[in-house]
Amino acid sequence: MTDAIACTGLAYAFGDTRAVDGLDLTVREGEVFGLLGPNGAGKTTAIRCVTTLLPVPPGMVAVLGHDAARDRMAVRRLLGYVPQQLSADQGLTGRENVSLFARVFDVPRRERAARVAQALAAVDLTDAADRLAGTYSGGMVRRLELAQALVSAPRLLILDEPTIGLDPIARTGVWEHITAVREATGMTVLVTTHYMDEADQYCDRVGLMHRGRIRALGTPVELRQGLGERRGASATDPLPSLEDVFRDVAGSGLDDTSGDFRDVRSTRRTAQRVG
């Protein structure tokens, strides 16, 4: 089976900052894969390389068998992307927002209305579809963005911190919709999150990224058992949490020196606008 994403020695630098530094990563078709890591680990940069928004040399990134450098348009057609920054226009209704994406992604004119309605229904926004997005709650806005990404029926859905700034109930709502769409369509989902409990509950596999590379990879249970064994825990001891694994891998990455001004500013701005 072709992998949904294959990154081989992926590297990307902003000046002297090596944001992604030799990333090897395979995401299998049909799985929900969580990319975790402290602020500044390189998650968003890696995602932007996969989505072709940042240019990479041939051979570093393939999406469903298409090289991101050689076959950029094919890659773009296969994926739906919900960035950290909000992409919905608050002056348009939910339906208008999704229709705009349908046009941009060349959904055939005859099918457009039905596909827009289907995408809105998939995220439970049918009743609110004709209200201005500016009147939506934070959770509804995130679901609307999910509908925008789904309307082109992508085979790979990429979500950068889809639940940031949401309350626990809205977070659960977003995840339940992601899970339901994945089950209905079999699409692959790559998601970044800082919420370890979400990764533990909803991701089939997770990769912990630190300083531009994957430092641990596996199912949440495998990673938690692995840490338990390294600590010499007995079979009856409770498993360490995914957060313990994260601290073990990222170590100093979780102290006050992780990330920089830009990271804090962008995270706050996103959280404020969603919340």
Ligand X SMILES: Nc1ncnc2c1ncn2[C@@H]1O[C@H](COP(=O)(O)OP(=O)(O)OP(=O)(O)O)[C@@H](O)[C@H]1O
Q: Which residues bind ligand X (CB under 6 A)?
A: 14, 17, 19, 37, 39-45, 259-260, 262-263, 267
If the CB atoms of residues 37 and 139 are measured against ligand X, the closer one turns out to be 37
What is residue 64's three-state secondary structure?
coil
If the CB atoms of residues 28 and 269 are measured against ligand X, the closer one turns out to be 269
The Cα–Cα gap between 94 and 17 comes to 39
The Cα–Cα gap between 270 and 263 comes to 11
The Cα–Cα gap between 109 and 237 comes to 59
If the CB atoms of residues 137 and 267 are measured against ligand X, the closer one turns out to be 267
Q: Rounded to the nearest whole angstrom, what is the least distance from the CB of residue 266 to ligand X in the complex?
A: 7
If the CB atoms of residues 15 and 108 are measured against ligand X, the closer one turns out to be 15
Give the distance, in angstroms, between the CA of residue 162 and the centroid of all CA atoms in the same chain. Answer: 7
What is residue 25's three-state secondary structure?
strand
If the CB atoms of residues 61 and 140 are measured against ligand X, the closer one turns out to be 61
Q: Rounded to the nearest whole angstrom, what is the least distance from the CB of residue 214 to ligand X in the complex?
A: 12
The Cα–Cα gap between 161 and 82 comes to 9
Q: What angle separates helix 109-122 from helix 138-150, to the nearest 10 degrees?
A: 140
Strand intervals (E) in 105-193: 156-160, 188-192
| Token code pair at residue 153 | 């029926």
The secondary structure of residue 214, as a DSSP letter, is E
The Cα–Cα gap between 151 and 162 comes to 17
Q: Where are the alpha helices (DSSP H) in the chain?
A: 43-50, 72-78, 94-104, 109-122, 138-150, 168-185, 196-202, 220-230, 242-250, 261-274
Q: Rounded to the nearest whole angstrom, what is the least distance from the CB of residue 228 to ligand X in the complex?
A: 27
The Cα–Cα gap between 240 and 237 comes to 9
Q: Rounded to the nearest whole angstrom, what is the least distance from the CB of residue 231 to ligand X in the complex?
A: 27
Q: Rounded to the nearest whole angstrom, what is the least distance from the CB of residue 75 to ligand X in the complex?
A: 19
Q: Rounded to the nearest whole angstrom, what is the least distance from the CB of residue 270 to ligand X in the complex?
A: 9
If the CB atoms of residues 134 and 251 are measured against ligand X, the closer one turns out to be 251
Q: Rounded to the nearest whole angstrom, what is the least distance from the CB of residue 272 to ligand X in the complex?
A: 15
If the CB atoms of residues 129 and 196 are measured against ligand X, the closer one turns out to be 196
Q: Rounded to the nearest whole angstrom, what is the least distance from the CB of residue 271 to ligand X in the complex?
A: 12
If the CB atoms of residues 181 and 208 are measured against ligand X, the closer one turns out to be 208
The Cα–Cα gap between 275 and 142 comes to 10
The Cα–Cα gap between 250 and 41 comes to 9
